[in-house]
Structure 1
Amino acid sequence: MGKTALITGASSGIGRDLTKLFARDGYDLVLVARSESVLSRLTKELQEQFGISVKVIVKDLALPASPVEIYEELQKESIRVNVLVNNAGFGLYGFFSETDGQAEWEMIQLNIAALTQLTKLFLPAMMERGEGKILNVASMAAFQPGPLMAVYYATKAYVLSFSEALANELQGTGVSVTALCPGPTSTGFEKRAGLEQSKLFKSGTMDSETVANIGYVGLMQNKTVVIPGLKNKLMAFSVRFLPRNTVTRIVRMVQGKLKHEPRTPSQNIKA
């Protein structure tokens, strides 16, 4: 039997680029996102180019029932998931006192709860078979607090901590867990979140295809933490040696826009 990869947030950015890498290597795919039309076009492209089987599941993972619904649908169709890619997520920019509380609750549900529940649901079968891989897309945001994106940074810290702990627990089982921690990446996130003029994105970005390639190689090599780019590696390493209040001030400085720091929340974005 062939192998199957389930990828959330597959409609754009890093998730979309990962679908092509798995398809290239002969994986059948289960693609999860909110946009049926985008997933349908992607499915046609992948099937024509690689001749693989693609199943589309249109779900909003910010809804608490979605992970179980995805799992039960695949169980009914006897689709075995060999690789789980928890890529879906979104960020919200602005002062916590002024941002949309409902949007932040949905962010926590998507970035943390859905990722955790999908892992909980699909992991036991991987362990029983003695093989499997899980890729959790975290962020460079995982390594420090993030003023002006306080909840987003906190959710990514959870993803990194959870992934590292789980990777340790699974040693010797044949199942690996990898946390991908990209820095600023050109995926459309910065434009729709209102961060194009921030020093963070003005200092340079990586393209999503490069990030996806690095993450995919790290996953296949069973690495626990993958940080794309030398600059990002140095940043992740350097924050260990600075006082936490200094790190927080630096993040606040680069998060703020170059000319003006808004007092109202910017638009949020979902993957």
Structure 2
Amino acid sequence: MKSRKETMQGVAVVTGAATGIGAAITERLADKGMHLVLVARDGARLEAAAKRLHAEYGARVSTLALDLSQQSAPARLAKWLTGSGTEVDVLVNNAGASLMGPVANSDPARLRGLVDLNAGAMAELTALLLPAMVARGRGAVVNIASTGAYAPVLAPVRTHPLRMWPLMRPRKRSCSPSPRRCGPRRRRPGCGSWRSAPAPPTLR
């Protein structure tokens, strides 16, 4: 059993806890002495993770196999926690997924499930568990997100047969009385008319 440098009290619920970032987070929390509730779709992996955390850190670990992309899942998790008498001190919203490919070729049901998991479940589960933390005067909510949300998406422009910029480029027109209505346009020197800004270089 590994020694603990710092001890914390309470229970942490970690979603997407079976593998990857979620599994790493559970190890850090177990090392600090927290009891854990692991939530993920794969029950077998959850049980294996629970045994390992108990053996290495002596943590008390509960598991719940649950697909949080289902709309009723957050409420089921909250009900399960209440029924087991579990007071949650830390909620880690780590469960998430991604889909690759054009939207036109995607399964609408899978897209809806993606949004329900990445955004809906996180928001609903937080709203379900946060009030008790506020009432007790202690607790924490940690939301894990991908840096992909902040990355520019250029591949569809490069590979799509249609050139998107010419379709979006504004037509030349005279300026309205209010310059702020003209959008991203530049005033021609010595003239009251306006022209469109130059198109960006073609992506290759």
TM over 0.5: yes
Mapped contact 1:5–1:84 kept (Cα < 8 A): yes
Task: Tell me the residue number matched to 1:74.
Answer: 81
| Count of aligned positions | 154
Residue type of the partner of 2:108?
G
Describe the shift of the 1:147–1:12 C-alpha distance in structure 2 as closer, same or farther (beyond 3 A).
farther
Structure 2 unmatched runs, 5+: 1-7, 157-198
Larger Rg: 2
How many angstroms does 1:147 deviate by? Answer: 5.5
* Distance (Å, rounded) in 1 between the aligned partners of 2:45 and 2:24: 14
Partner of 2:58: 51
Shift of 1:144: 4.7
Query: What SS does the aligned partner of 2:59 have?
Result: coil
**TM-score normalized by the length of structure 1:** 0.53
- 2:104 maps to what in 1? 97
Structure 1: gaps of 5 or more residues: 150-244, 254-271
Distance 1:148 1:131 in 2: 45
Pairing of 1:189-268 with structure 2 (within 5 A)? none
Aligned AA (2:137): G
The 3-state SS of whatever aligns with 2:38 is strand
Q: Which residue of 2 aligns with 1:216?
A: none
Q: Once the 2 structures are TM-superposed, how far is the Cα of residue 105 of structure 1 from its aligned partner?
A: 0.6
Q: What is the one-letter code of the residue matched to 1:42?
A: A
Q: Between the two structures, name the one with larger relative contact order (CA 8 Å, sep ≥ 6).
A: 1
Q: Secondary structure at the match of 1:81?
A: coil
Partner of 2:125: 118
SS at match of 2:105: coil
Query: Is the aligned partner of 1:7 residue 2:14?
Result: yes
Residue 6 (structure 1) shift: 0.3
More helix by share: 1
**2:47 maps to amino acid:** S
TM-score, normalization by structure 2: 0.70
Secondary structure (helix, strand or coil) at the match of 2:111 reads helix
**Shift in Å, 1:76:** 1.1
Show the 5 A alignment for 1:118-197: 118-144=125-151, 146=153
1: CA distance between counterparts of 2:110 and 2:154? 17
Instruction: Tell me the residue number matched to 2:41.
Output: 34
Question: CA distance change for structure 1 residues 104 and 145 in 2, over 3 Å: closer, same or farther?
Answer: farther
Partner of 2:44, secondary structure, is helix
Deviation at 1:146, TM superposition (A): 3.3
